[in-house]
Structure formats: C-alpha cells, structure tokens
Amino acid sequence: MSKQINVALIGNPNTGKTSVFNALTGLNQKVGNYPGITVDKKEGICKLSRGVKAHVLDLPGTYSLNASSLDENVVIELLLNKNDKDFPDVAVIVSDVENLKRNLLLFTQIKDLKIPTILVVNMADRMSRKGISLNIELLEQELKTKIALVSTRKNEGIQELKTLIENYKNLSIEPCLDTSTIDSEYFANLKKAFPNQDLYKLWVVISQDANFGKIDRNELDFSKFKTKTKSELKRLQQKETIKRYQFINNTLKEGQTIDKSKATDLRTKFDKILTHKVWGYLIFFVILLTIFQVIYDWATVPMDFIDSSFASLADWIKMTFPEGGKFTNLIAEGVVAGIGGIVIFIPQIAFLFLFIAVLEESGYMSRVVFLMDRIMRRFGLSGKSVVPLISGTACAIPAIMATRNIENWKERLITILVTPFTTCSARLPVYLIIIALVIPEGRFLGLSYQALTLMLLYMVGFGMAIFSAYVLDKILQTNRKTFFVVEMPNYKLPLLKNVALTVLEKTKTFVFEAGKIILAISIVLWILASYGPGKDFNNAETIVEETYPELQGEQLDNKVAAYKLEHSFIGIVGKSIEPAIRPLGYDWKIGIGIVTSFAAREVFVGTLATIYSVGSALDDDDKTIKNRMANEVHDNGNKVFTLASGISLLLFYAFAMQCMSTLAIVKRETNTWKWPMIQLFGMSFIAYVIALIAFQILN
C-alpha cells in the first residue's frame, strides 16, 4: 500500500514557488481548474522514498490570509476547510531569502491555523551575494518550524525538503504568537460565542468581506454575535499586522544578519535604465518590435515545413488508400487538412509564450506595469491591464483570467471587455495567410513589408482596445476607490526549466483545446461540403458536361467539383449570406469561413483548406492552401484575394468577436451574460463597418 501525503505549496508571489513545485514534481504535474471557478489548479506527484509519495498542490501566490482577489480566496478556502480532499497534511511556505521579513507575515498566519508547516527559504544561493546570513537553529526555534534552504537554480536542498515532508508528523503545530491580545475582550467574546471553532479561523472569516464558498457565514451564525463595524475591523486588522511584524522583526534581529556592504545591487543598475522616463519606454517598444520580428521571421521555416508536410500526407493518403472512397476523402480532405490547420500554429504560439514567460520570469513585466500605469489610467485601465493586454497576444482566455489581480472592479471590467481586441494567436494564422497573399515582398529599413503589416495589425488591435476602453470609461459609472499596489521583484535570470514547462503547458492546452473544436468543425464542414440537396448537386457531372461541352479531363473534373461545392449544403449557406458580405469584398467561400470562425477564429484557415481541397483536384503546384487561395477567382475572372479584399478581411478579423471560449470565460468572470453579449454584438458590428469602409475606399 502506498501512502500519499497532501502537501500545499503556499507563498508570496515572486518567491519562486513554482520553481520549487517544478523541482519537486518535474513532469509529473497537471493543470486543471478549481470546480466552478477558473483559477488554475496545479498539482503533481512527488516521490519521497520507497512507497511514499506526496500529492503536491501549488496554490496561487498570496501575500496574506486577507484575500483581495479570487486567486487568494482559493488559498484561504482550502486552508479553512478541513474536509476538503486537498486539505494539506503539511503546508510548505516558500519564501524569498531577500525578503524574509515580508514572507514571514504569511507564515505566522498559516501557523495560527495549526497546520504542520515547513519554511522553505528559496534562492539560498543568493545569500552570500546579498551579504545575508541566517542562524537557522535559532530561527527554527523561534518560528517553531523546520527550515529548508533551497536553491532551485542550483538544484540544492530539494532532497532535504523531501525528507522534511516525509517526516511531517514531527512538526510543531503551535502558533508563533498570540494575536488575540490585540483586543482580548473581543476575542474572548468570540470564543464564548463559538466554543467549538478555532479562534483564528473565526477571525479570518469574520474580518473579511469575501465570500468563501463552503465556509459561508450562515454556517457560523454570526447574527447572534455582536460584531464590530467595518472600520473597527480594519483597525484591528492593522493592529494584527503591526503585532505580527513586531514579532518578525524581533525574530530576525537575532536570526538574520545583513551586511549591506557585501551586497551587489543589480536592481538599482537595471532600474535606472529600464524604468527611465525616456529609455524605459524606448526599450519597451524595442522589445515589442523584436518579439514580432522574431515571431514572424523565425517561425516561418518550421511553418512552411509543416504546411508542405501535411499537403504531402493528404496526397499520400489519397494515393495509397482506395481511390474515390468516401472515407479516404474524409480523412485526406477533412481530418488531415483540419489537423494541419492547427499544427501549423505551434511554432508561433510557442515563440510567443516563450517571450511572455521570459518577461514574466525575469521581473521585467512589473516594470512595464509601473511605466504604463499613468498612461493606461487615462483610458480607464490600470498599469496592471498591460499584462492581460500583452498576454492577450497569446490568447484572450488566460489574459482575461490574468485580470484578477486588478483590484478595482471598473478597471478590471474594462480590461476584460477590451482584451479580445488584442491580436490573439488564433488570429495569427488568418493574418499570416492573407498577408502572404496580398502584401508584396520587399524590405523597409531591414524589416519586411509583411512583418511591418503584422506589427501594424497588432497596433491596430491594441489601439482599438485602448480607444474602446476610453469610451467605456466615460460610459460606465462607479465610485469605487482605486487600489494599486505592485510588487517590483528583483531581476532574475529566467530558469530554463520553468520557461520550458510554461511554453509546453500553454502550447499543449492551445493545441488540444482549440484542436478539438477545429477537428470537429473540419469534419462537419467536409460532410456539409460533400453532400447537397436536390438535382443540382447529385447530377453535377451531367449538368457541367452539358453546359461546357468543350471541357476535357482535369479541367472538367475541377469544374464539376466546383459546381458540386456551390450546390452543397455549405455552398447554400455561403451563398445565402453572400449579399451581406459582398460589399466587404468577400465571396461565399470566405463567407463560410467567417460563419465557422464564430466558433473560433483559427477555424478560418482550416475551413478554407477544407473547402478548397474539396473544390479542386490536387495538382502538383497547387498543393498548399496558400497557392490554392492565390489562384481563387470570382465568376468574372477577377482574383478573390486582392489588396482591398485582403485588408478588409484582415480588419474584420482584427475587430470581430469570434471565439466561443472567450465569451464563456467572460461570462464566468463577470457572472452575467450581459457583458459577453455586448462584446459579441458590439465588436462584430465595429468589424463589419470598418471592413466595409476599408474595402470601399481601397477598391
């Protein structure tokens, strides 16, 4: 029988908690959701010794047990609920050696809950460089805990930590200090009213506004208890904090010595430039520019390879398996084309997540928040909105989830509403293929026109987000106080393992989540495109032969296939919306693409791939989707993809709200269908109008 120890990793943000998690669990980890809410739940298995395993839960970063965000609520809810299946046998508090003082605040609170607790002092390899030395024995005694000095960077101390976890039963569960003395009378009354409850737990619940799911106030009936006013409670919380710091300061006075003369200070040197009033902004802009150039340039090589590989695969399937069989066609034209349409994004998405992970890990992202706050506030946003807006370039879903740390509701709501305007990775394939079709090659100042167009599209998306935020700021009325506290972590060289795991995790999620939808839609589309009602579809060969008696061989086959597609189920749908999209420069095939894109944007390319491979026989030089699209003509012989229709299509995709998953997330985060519906109709209306104007001017 193997036995599992429940371990919860708890700590302030930026303490390297996730690095410790990665070091403990390696690849044995998975990311899920807490039931009902969308906070990432990271858990993994760690082998301690023969037959003993630990189930490790990486809880969201929190500064204290006083929740100011949903993420922090998760921590408190778990720690207060002994019946939760994840309730920890042992809590591992991860702290940063450079800021023990503040990290210990949370530590003393957890100790008050009487959970066996281990203190991890992380980044211990920095101690000598910072002139810090610790008296571990004394600290362990004062804090009534065991301490593990860990350096995930050098992979030191992990084994010691594992041993401590395995022997968790030896840990003390005695609190470090008695906080009830901040108002003895009040706490005595509290104890009298609820004799069966833990006193500190009562205080945590009673002093906070937040709603803790299962541990709501009804269970603990506070109605009979004469509690204090809100401001009295806040004063008490302040007193509690002061008291805790007094204890911590006294403890550290003896247990920690810092020789400032030995400290080398990278922070000051870097900050002098990176947060500079001029250089700071310039560097930020250059970093953004570099990211886009790299995503565009570096990713094209693997992407071209993937594109042609899938084309050959489809070819090979058609050659190898029974000719003309329906099933063979479904695989070659529906499934392979559909999967190819997803796999092709992997290089770019991976690069983008790589950059975002590096910027986050290095500590630079907080500097961006600092630089941008004042500017963003002018538009009703917060400096913290920059992170969601930048993450939005990967995917709006994690970006909207990242708005949780914006404490002001109005700023948060506006950020949620405008984030889908930023260019997410799902738009990228649409952009790339259309840019390749309609934007000429050539270079300007060493940057290709195509890369510049892409950069411009990102800026258009960002600009629209800012502009609509400004409008929303004027419309929405609230009088909540602003509230902005951003920690500026020290600069760190990103850990390769952390970055790699993030990139892997995010890319995997994207491919599988989006992949499921795309694959399903591809198959449905293929069926709709391969069958049709009535005589026109079923007698296509005869009709075409009669109408164009001069056609022979391959030309005839193509004409028949095209005729069939036009009269298939999907052709009928496309045709029926054609009048509405004609003024935008699109034909009915693009119409089908747009309709299916409302499930998810990236479906567009897959849809066109399916439609065009159904619509034409495979020639040698005609294999890739791009070539097929380039050769596409209207009935009058004019090319479908011109500069005018291309730009119009790019702008339509830039603004339209085409993503079911985002709408679902917005509903969850705002708790009403009102906001996602406003997004769906508002954004799509804007998209239509702007695409219309663009086409009419350019044409």
Residue pair 573/595 in contact by the 8 Å Cβ criterion: yes
When asked if residue 383 is in the footprint of another protein (CB under 8 A), the reply is: yes
> How far apart (Å, rounded) are the C-alpha atoms in residues 58 and 367?
26
Structure tokens at 159: 């084994």
Nearer to another protein, 82 or 234 (CB): 234
> How far apart (Å, rounded) are the C-alpha atoms in residues 7 and 117?
10
Nearer to another protein, 301 or 375 (CB): 375
The structure tokens 């902005």 sit at 484
**Which range touches another protein (CB under 8 A), out of 149-157, 238-246, 590-598, 600-608?**
238-246
Classify residue 369 by burial, with Cβ atoms within 10 Å: 0-12, 13-18, 19+.
Answer: buried
Interface pick for another protein out of 210, 488, 524, 692 (rule CB under 8 A): 488
Interface pick for another protein out of 271, 505, 541, 578 (rule CB under 8 A): 271
Residue pair 106/64 in contact by the 8 Å Cβ criterion: yes
Q: Quote the crossing angle between the two packed helices 427-438 and 643-655, to the nearest 10°.
A: 170
When asked if residue 231 is in the footprint of another protein (CB under 8 A), the reply is: yes
Residue pair 88/4 in contact by the 8 Å Cβ criterion: no
CA dihedral over 661, 662, 668, 671, signed as positive or negative:
negative
When asked if residue 370 is in the footprint of another protein (CB under 8 A), the reply is: yes
When asked if residue 473 is in the footprint of another protein (CB under 8 A), the reply is: no
Least Å from the CB of residue 95 to another protein:
13
Nearer to another protein, 188 or 242 (CB): 242
Interface pick for another protein out of 50, 169, 192, 277 (rule CB under 8 A): 277
When asked if residue 319 is in the footprint of another protein (CB under 8 A), the reply is: no
Interface pick for another protein out of 82, 154, 217, 234 (rule CB under 8 A): 234
Sequence-ordered list of residues with C-beta below 8 angstroms from that of 461, at least 6 positions apart, any chain: 421, 422, 423, 427, 654, 655
Least Å from the CB of residue 160 to another protein:
27
Least Å from the CB of residue 366 to another protein:
8
Least Å from the CB of residue 193 to another protein:
25
Classify residue 80 by burial, with Cβ atoms within 10 Å: 0-12, 13-18, 19+.
Answer: buried
Least Å from the CB of residue 204 to another protein:
13
When asked if residue 145 is in the footprint of another protein (CB under 8 A), the reply is: no
Nearer to another protein, 63 or 321 (CB): 63
When asked if residue 163 is in the footprint of another protein (CB under 8 A), the reply is: no
> How far apart (Å, rounded) are the C-alpha atoms in residues 630 and 614?
16
Structure tokens at 251: 């403890």
Nearer to another protein, 207 or 568 (CB): 207
Least Å from the CB of residue 239 to another protein:
10
Nearer to another protein, 214 or 234 (CB): 234
Per-residue string for binding with another protein, 398-437, x by CB under 8 A?
A: ---------x------------------------------
When asked if residue 242 is in the footprint of another protein (CB under 8 A), the reply is: yes
Nearer to another protein, 366 or 596 (CB): 366
When asked if residue 267 is in the footprint of another protein (CB under 8 A), the reply is: yes
Nearer to another protein, 378 or 508 (CB): 378
Sequence-ordered list of residues with C-beta below 8 angstroms from that of 372, at least 6 positions apart, any chain: 383, 386
Under rule CB under 8 A, how many of the chain's residues touch another protein? 39
> How far apart (Å, rounded) are the C-alpha atoms in residues 376 and 369?
9
Residue pair 90/48 in contact by the 8 Å Cβ criterion: no
Backbone angles phi, psi at 224, to 5 degrees: -80, -15
Residue pair 43/56 in contact by the 8 Å Cβ criterion: yes
Interface pick for another protein out of 484, 531, 548, 569 (rule CB under 8 A): 484
**Which range touches another protein (CB under 8 A), out of 166-174, 213-221, 271-279, 311-319?**
271-279
Closest alpha carbon to 627 in 637, 635, 614, 618: 618
Query: Please, what is the end-to-end C-alpha distance for the chain in angstroms?
Result: 74
**Which range touches another protein (CB under 8 A), out of 293-301, 350-358, 475-483, 627-635?**
475-483
Half-sphere exposure for 565 (CA within 13 Å, toward CB): 21
Rg of the chain over all Cα atoms, to the nearest angstrom: 30
When asked if residue 64 is in the footprint of another protein (CB under 8 A), the reply is: yes
**Which range touches another protein (CB under 8 A), out of 139-147, 269-277, 439-447, 686-694?**
269-277
Nearer to another protein, 90 or 369 (CB): 369
When asked if residue 369 is in the footprint of another protein (CB under 8 A), the reply is: yes
When asked if residue 70 is in the footprint of another protein (CB under 8 A), the reply is: no
> How far apart (Å, rounded) are the C-alpha atoms in residues 379 and 392?
18
Nearer to another protein, 151 or 405 (CB): 405
Least Å from the CB of residue 415 to another protein:
16
Backbone angles phi, psi at 498, to 5 degrees: -60, -45
Nearer to another protein, 104 or 608 (CB): 104
Least Å from the CB of residue 182 to another protein:
14
Between the alpha carbon of residue 369 and those of residues 134, 467, 480, 589, the distances in Å are 33, 19, 21, 43
**Which range touches another protein (CB under 8 A), out of 190-198, 362-370, 442-450, 521-529?**
362-370
Interface pick for another protein out of 31, 215, 486, 630 (rule CB under 8 A): 486
Nearer to another protein, 69 or 627 (CB): 69
Nearer to another protein, 226 or 481 (CB): 481
For residue 644, the one-letter residue type is A
Nearer to another protein, 271 or 315 (CB): 271
Nearer to another protein, 244 or 623 (CB): 244
Nearer to another protein, 224 or 481 (CB): 481
Residue-wise burial string across 381-408, b where 16 or more C-beta atoms lie within 10 A, e elsewhere: bbbbbbbbbbbbbbbbbbbbbbbbbbbb
Interface pick for another protein out of 371, 451, 590, 599 (rule CB under 8 A): 371
Least Å from the CB of residue 669 to another protein:
21
**Which range touches another protein (CB under 8 A), out of 347-355, 371-379, 506-514, 593-601?**
371-379
When asked if residue 690 is in the footprint of another protein (CB under 8 A), the reply is: no
H or E element in which residue 575 lies: helix 569-581
Half-sphere exposure for 400 (CA within 13 Å, toward CB): 27
Residue pair 160/148 in contact by the 8 Å Cβ criterion: yes
When asked if residue 241 is in the footprint of another protein (CB under 8 A), the reply is: yes
**What does DSSP say about strands 3-11 and 90-96: parallel, antiparallel, or unpaired?**
parallel
When asked if residue 81 is in the footprint of another protein (CB under 8 A), the reply is: no
3-class SS of residue 205: helix
When asked if residue 483 is in the footprint of another protein (CB under 8 A), the reply is: yes
For residue 465, the one-letter residue type is A
> How far apart (Å, rounded) are the C-alpha atoms in residues 589 and 621?
22
When asked if residue 374 is in the footprint of another protein (CB under 8 A), the reply is: yes
HEC string for 89-104: CEEEEEEEHHHHHHHH
When asked if residue 133 is in the footprint of another protein (CB under 8 A), the reply is: no
> How far apart (Å, rounded) are the C-alpha atoms in residues 614 and 608?
10
> How far apart (Å, rounded) are the C-alpha atoms in residues 349 and 291?
12
Query: What is the number of other CB atoms lying within 10 angstroms of the CB of residue 419?
Result: 25
Binding site for another protein (CB under 8 A): 63-64, 66, 68, 99, 101-102, 105, 231, 234-235, 237-238, 241-242, 245, 267-268, 271, 275, 277, 366, 369-371, 373-374, 383, 407, 481-490
